[in-house]
Amino acid sequence: MSKSINTILLQEEFSHADLVALLNAQGQDKTAIYTRSAEIKKQYIGNKVYFRGLVELSNICSKNCLYCGIRSGNPKPGRYMVTEDEVLEAASFALENGYGSMVLQSGERCDEKFAKTVSDLLKKIKELSGGKLGITLSMGEQTEDTYREWFANGAHRYLIRIETSDRELYYRIHPKDKKHDFDIRINALKLLREIGYNVGSGVMIGLPFQTIEHLAGDLLFLKQLDVDMVGMGPFIEHEDTPLYEFRDSLWPKKDRFDVSLKMVALLRIMMKDINIAATTAMQAIDKQGREKALKVGANIIMPNLTPLKYREDYLLYEDKPCLDEDASQCRNCLEARIHMAGDEIGFNEWGDSAHFAKRTSSSKLD
Ligand code: 5AD
Ligand code: SF4
Ligand code: FES
């Protein structure tokens, strides 16, 4: 006889089969998972949600991921780079509004000029905020020297989603060439950890060809990698991408959302003290997607600070929210949403995960 969900939830460790059962849970079983993950969040994280003001720095990308609306092969988006003044304006907004941190995200570019531009921005943001603003980077795969240079200039968190931890599936959603190499991506996560970053990763949920078994594997992968932060959300098809061809075989959007919520809850149960984002993609499917994610375990929100004129050109997927809402509107909207979820905002704090503090202090003792 198979184990009941309640029995599995009492365990400290989950096998792949346990996770498959949990991901398939419905009705009361599903409620039991959410009750457990909410308890763990309360106990280990509390009710503080940290803001990371997001600037989508540039949509210029040398990669061609088969799912992404700003892939280099899509001629439609006007390619942009936010100016230094605009980034600093966003940084001032973040500072004035008590956001503890910013995230700079962009398409992948590995030229020296870009590395230098980012370094200059890091220095100026640190200067402007007197070191107060924490900075996360999400700029894809770079050379070790570049990761080190950016770290030295003040970035202390880095996000690279693995997208899927299954090698075969990885190559079905990326072009099969040297530019999209699974091993380089895994290695990037290891390098970033060695350098001293808080390391974040994550996956998309409901990809073509993806199964619940793959997703159970993703949870084990994130745990094994011992990441400090995770951002994950539903895959949402974009009509100007090659994967659009498979739109009729995808799970219904509601199911993709449901499984995403369960992934957040299960990850919280498995990795009690990490930071987990309530992602924008969750809100693209369900109007209350981010609040729901907070309720079941997430504790990070990334309000968009990208100047409005660029937002139409940073559409990684369809139905992306906040295209017409500026920084103040998103702030008000998110404050209300966080309160609705019963949480509070952790103003003026970096809000690094307790997980990072723990692993770095214990490694100093080794
Ligand atoms: N649907 C959902 N998420 C997407 N991303 C890119 N394209 C899509 C899509 N079509 C996510 C990827 C990437 C992050 C910046 O956005 O996970 O790492
Ligand atoms: Fe570029 Fe990232 Fe989009 Fe891939 S997912 S095409 S690396 S912006
Ligand atoms: Fe931007 Fe709600 S978060 S309008």
Best substitution site from 67, 70, 232 to test ligand 2's pocket, by max atoms within 8 Å of Cβ? 70
d(CA 304, CA 54): 5
Write down the mean pLDDT value for the chain. Answer: 96
Q: Is residue 300 part of a domain?
A: yes
281 alpha carbon – ligand 1 mean position (Å): 8
276 alpha carbon – ligand 1 mean position (Å): 16
| Amino acid 366: pLDDT | 45
Best substitution site from 232, 316, 318 to test ligand 1's pocket, by max atoms within 8 Å of Cβ? 316
- The answer on pLDDT for 363 being more than 60 is no
| Amino acid 1: pLDDT | 60
Q: Is residue 6 part of a domain?
A: no
Enter the tokens of residue 72.
Answer: 């280099």
- Which CATH number covers residue 142? 3.20.20.70
Task: Tell me the per-residue pLDDT of 237-251, one tens digit each, with 9 for 90 and over.
Answer: 999 999 999 999 999
Task: Tell me the per-residue pLDDT of 276-292, one tens digit each, with 9 for 90 and over.
Answer: 999 999 999 999 999 99
Position 365 confidence tier, pLDDT thresholds 50, 70, 90: very low
Q: Is residue 3 part of a domain?
A: no
| Amino acid 227: pLDDT | 98
d(CA 113, CA 119): 10
Best substitution site from 49, 334, 345 to test ligand 3's pocket, by max atoms within 8 Å of Cβ? 334
| Amino acid 254: pLDDT | 97
Q: Is residue 9 part of a domain?
A: no
Domain that holds residue 83: 20-365
Task: Tell me the per-residue pLDDT of 299-326, one tens digit each, with 9 for 90 and over.
Answer: 999 999 999 999 999 999 999 999 999 9
Enter the tokens of residue 119.
Answer: 């370094």
Ligand nearest to the CA of 72: 2
d(CA 107, CA 123): 21
pLDDT, average across residues 203-225: 98
Q: Is residue 139 part of a domain?
A: yes
Q: Is residue 4 part of a domain?
A: no
Q: Is residue 11 part of a domain?
A: no
Query: How many domains does one find in the chain?
Result: 1
- Ligand 1, residue 163: give the atom nearest the CA: 17
pLDDT over 70 percentage in the chain? 98
Q: Is residue 7 part of a domain?
A: no
- Ligand 1, residue 105: give the atom nearest the CA: 15
